[in-house]
Amino acid sequence: AQSVTQLDSQVPVFEEAPVELRCNYSSSVSVYLFWYVQYPNQGLQLLLKYLSGSTLVKGINGFEAEFNKSQTSFHLRKPSVHISDTAEYFCAVGGPGGFKTIFGAGTRLFVKA
C-alpha cells in the first residue's frame, strides 16, 4: 500500500527567506509524485510532478522538488518566498497504471512580511 507523510503541518517563514516543505512516501512499486497548492477558498492546482527522468523537477512560481529514491522523499523548495505563496501545499503519490492518488495531510505555509 502507498502512503504519504508531510512532516510539518505548519511552516511560518519571513518574506524573501528560503523554504523547504518535507514529504516522505512509502510504496512497494515505482511511483509518480506530485505537489499541489491550494490558495484560500480555491481548489487544488498542480505545482509540479515527477514521473521519471531527472530527479530535480521544476514547477510553477519558482518552486522545485527533488526525488530521492533512497530516502523515499520528495521535498519541495523555493529559494525566496513571497507573501502570495501563503497557501496549503499537498504532496501526493500515484502508482503506474493505477487510478488512485494518495494525498498527504497538507502543510500550511505562512509567509510573513
Contact residues: another protein, CB under 8 A: 6, 9, 32, 34, 36, 41-46, 49, 51, 90, 94, 96-101, 103-106
Q: Where are the beta strands (DSSP E) in the chain?
A: 3-6, 10-14, 19-21, 23-26, 32-38, 44-50, 56-58, 64-68, 73-78, 87-94, 101-103, 107-112
Q: Which residue lies nearer to another protein by CB, 51 or 83? A: 51
- Output the smallest distance, CB 107 to another protein, in A: 10
Cβ proximity to another protein, 41 vs 54, nearer residue: 41
